Amino acid sequence: MGKSLLVVESPAKARTLSRYVDPSFSVVATVGHIKDLPPRELGVDIEDGFKPKYSVISGKWKVIKELKSATEKVDAVYLAPDPDREGEAIAWHVADEVAGEKKAFRVMFHEITKKAVQSALKNPIVLDRNKYDAQQARRILDRLVGYLISPLLWKKVRRGLSAGRVQSVAVRLICEREEEIRRFESKEYWTVHVLLEGGEPPPFAATLLRIKGKKANVPDGDKASEIKKVLEAETFRIKKIEKKRTKRNPLPPFITSTLQQEASRAYRFTPKRTMKIAQKLYEGIPLGDEGPEGLITYMRTDSTRISQEAIQEARSFIKGNLGSDYLPASPRMYKSKKKNVQDAHEAIRPTAVAREPSKIKSFLTPEQFKLYELIWKRFVACQMKPAELDQTRVDIEAGDYLFRATGSVLRFDGYRKLYEETSEAEAKGKADDSLLPELKEGEELERKKIDLEQHFTQPPPRYTESTLIKAMEEKGIGRPSTYAAILSNIRDRQYVDLVERRLMPSELGELVNRLLVDNFPDILNVEFTANMESSLDAIELGQQDWLKVLDAFYKAFEKDLERAKSEMLDVRKEGTPTEIKCDQCKKPMVIRFSAGGPFLACSGFPECKNAKSFDRDESGKIRIREEETVEDQSCPQCDKPLQVKHGRYGPFLACTGYPECRYTRPLDRPGEAPVEETEGQEQPCEKCGGKLIVKRARSGNRFWACSNYPKCKEAKPFQVGVACDRCEEGQFVERAGRNGRLFYCCDQYPKCKNSVPNRPVPNACEACGAPYLLSRFDKEGNPVLYCSRKDCSARKGVKSEPKPEAAEQA
């Protein structure tokens, strides 16, 4: 047998596969795509049948050189990138660049186990042109939308904006939900509860259900009080008792979307984080003497199919570890509720059921263990018996009023013994699972108490990341491999904000959404986007021609694009009109955008330079933000009062004498422990002999700068007085990230990459001996010291000294 080359995407996967393949194989990783459309041009020749102009990705020439060198020494090339459209494109590009006249085979690893790998290598397939064309069509569609609409947004709104074929539709869903919330009119209603007791204790509660045979409608407190007065004279008697046993079946194993949703609910993992952890579990984790092992099957799938071998593994485990009472007579099979499911992959499951989470916990990071345990339990539970509950419903008459009491008792836990979805557990906590006393039909009950409770109807909730993924999946927007990237993009572009774990459109997001919906109604149409996804699936199945799909799309898109160039509102020149009047010249104020975000500006600019910060209330109405003047603090340069302003990096103090005086100083930030005042400290400048003084950047981090600036530009980061515990010579210094949030890292970077999110304090940890603790604020605003080591019992922290005044002001 001649020598062979096995090409994969990831170095981690390459290390795992090296243990399973014959010594005649060389394993090389491409580290993702090696070719793509060029980054600084459209890269698609529309006139020549949408011909793509692929170029080697920056930094990948070295990889290609290594691949070519390895190819010269082998007889055959096995292409084994991930088994999806993106992986197929990588395989085609590698074959095009390096395979040449060598035999090129496609192999797909749906799980990284010795048996699966060796089986795939014995049964290679040919490259799938249809799958490659589907990826190519998607890439060109996204490039056309992004590279032809984005420059228009740069010209009309602000530089740096982008539009996306799928991401813009996701933003539209969030914006439309926000509009629903603003239009919602809350209505008052009341519920009536009564505490009753029969012949046997304990008392139980019943709720008003009907009045004179119609659904109870109690609109206000007066009506509720009237009902209570009538009920105080009525006799309560049991009309009907209904008992039944119900079954609750286990949920199917995870697919990509349900895994992202459950990880978000259970552990608050973002979809991007979930997929990153799952990728590592799929590619292989070192398990001591066993070496690297792939722990789960491929994690980008929308199929709930399970192999017979995996089902038998699960059934054997259930019988041997949980007992025959939990094993159904026949295996459970699951059908997908969605149409056009790509059934090439199985559901997400453990590669070996015998590899229980508890047995390999020591080899996994905490987040890897959480996700693996979630996948393992969900899969095993899907082959268990249903849970059984006894439910009792009691209808009680009191004159014209009908009350109902319910209770349920878990008789057999079934699959719940092993796994219960977060939403199920939450629902169970809200439901009445109490056991009702023994009651008889016709029995008269003693009224103990009548309670009246006021409520207000609530608007539809804002999307969380998990509910948005669910909505996108139901509407057919995007695919399993794209959900995480879409949510990450719309947040990175500042189109949406995450507020209390819910997605809220930003001012910029709502503006861009309005412009795109008005000018590109097809692209921003949910049904159109879903149909396009179906067309891409049809290309992959060989049912549609990819060029015809692109041509049909572009003909409609080109007309919208030309119209938008002339008709789209030029926000950059005109701003977005509002009903607010300028308090200086009485002209209308308009919304404009800067690097610091949206603001109100006078439409009479440049004659009138009045500008205001603003917020929107719950109804969406603009409200001018009153700048807060800070008491007992004046400008050190002109002695005028200081006020709180809001900029790109959050709130800061600025002189009220602006623009004559431009003094600013950052505020201590909520969530960051305040630091002692350091302005005024000095040390000699080694470069010019002058003095280095402590200054603050706009983002809030302190640094040393020469007093002779700009003649001398010597500067260095500010040390916080705590030594780095990873290297011998490093000290922690104060830095600010791209989002303006402070963090602390070793000053020996990049030699030492140690960093912590909160300020280190030179107090040794009493629990584990760590040389320093970290300081933060808890939810109540109290300072907390906690250990930086994840396995330390002092990780959660203890309350420290009382909250300082600086923190209260922040």
Judge whether 718 and 693 are in contact, CB under 8 Å.
no
Please give the Cα distance from 569 to 185 (Å, whole number). Answer: 31
pLDDT at 650: 63
Please give the Cα distance from 347 to 379 (Å, whole number). Answer: 9
At residue 116, φ and ψ (nearest 5 deg) are -65, -40
Per residue in 418-471, pLDDT (tens digit) is 998 877 666 555 555 567 888 899 999 999 999 999 999 999 999 999 899 999
pLDDT at 37: 92
pLDDT at 422: 79
Q: Burial, 486: exposed, middle or buried (Cβ in 10 Å; 0-12, 13-18, 19+)?
A: buried
Q: Which of 148, 44, 50, 42 is nearest to 523 (CA)?
A: 148
Nearest 5 degrees, angle CA 530-CA 533-CA 538? Answer: 130
Judge whether 208 and 401 are in contact, CB under 8 Å.
yes
Q: Which of 180, 184, 186, 185 is nearest to 454 (CA)?
A: 186
E strands within 326-464? 387-398, 401-412, 444-456
Q: Which of 503, 427, 436 is nearest to 167 (CA)?
A: 503
Q: Which of 163, 226, 165, 231 is nearest to 193 (CA)?
A: 231
pTM of the predicted model, to two decimals?
Answer: 0.76
| 691 C-beta neighbours (distance < 10 Å), count | 14
Alpha helices in 72-166 (DSSP H): 85-94, 114-122, 129-156
E strands within 385-443? 387-398, 401-412
pLDDT at 573: 83
| 304 C-beta neighbours (distance < 10 Å), count | 23
Q: Which of 680, 685, 679, 681 is nearest to 712 (CA)?
A: 685
Pairing of strands 691-696, 650-655: unpaired
Q: What token pair was written down for 196?
A: 């009753």
pLDDT at 781: 57
Q: What token pair was written down for 596?
A: 């610091």
Per residue in 55-73, pLDDT (tens digit) is 999 888 999 998 888 888 8
Please give the Cα distance from 321 to 267 (Å, whole number). Answer: 27
Judge whether 629 and 809 are in contact, CB under 8 Å.
no
pLDDT at 368: 94
For the chain, which residues score pLDDT lower than 70?
1-2, 100-102, 337-344, 424-434, 595-596, 627-628, 631, 647-651, 666-680, 698-699, 738-740, 778-782, 793-810
| 343 C-beta neighbours (distance < 10 Å), count | 11
Please give the Cα distance from 701 to 681 (Å, whole number). Answer: 15
Which residues contact residue 581 at a Cβ distance below 8 angstroms, ignoring those fewer than 6 apart?
Answer: 587, 588, 589
Helix (H, G, I), strand (E, B) or coil at 622: strand
Helix (H, G, I), strand (E, B) or coil at 367: helix
H/E run at residue 174 = helix 167-183
H/E run at residue 374 = helix 366-381
Contacts of the segment 690-698: beta carbons below 8 A, 24+ positions apart? 692/716, 694/718, 696/665, 696/666, 697/736, 698/647, 698/648, 698/649, 698/652, 698/664, 698/666
pLDDT at 801: 44
Q: What token pair was written down for 524?
A: 């921003």
Please give the Cα distance from 8 to 108 (Å, whole number). Answer: 10
At 486, the amino acid letter reads I
pLDDT at 648: 63
Judge whether 190 and 221 are in contact, CB under 8 Å.
yes
Please give the Cα distance from 438 to 412 (Å, whole number). Answer: 21
Q: Could you give the residue numbers annotated as active site? A: 298
H/E run at residue 558 = helix 546-567
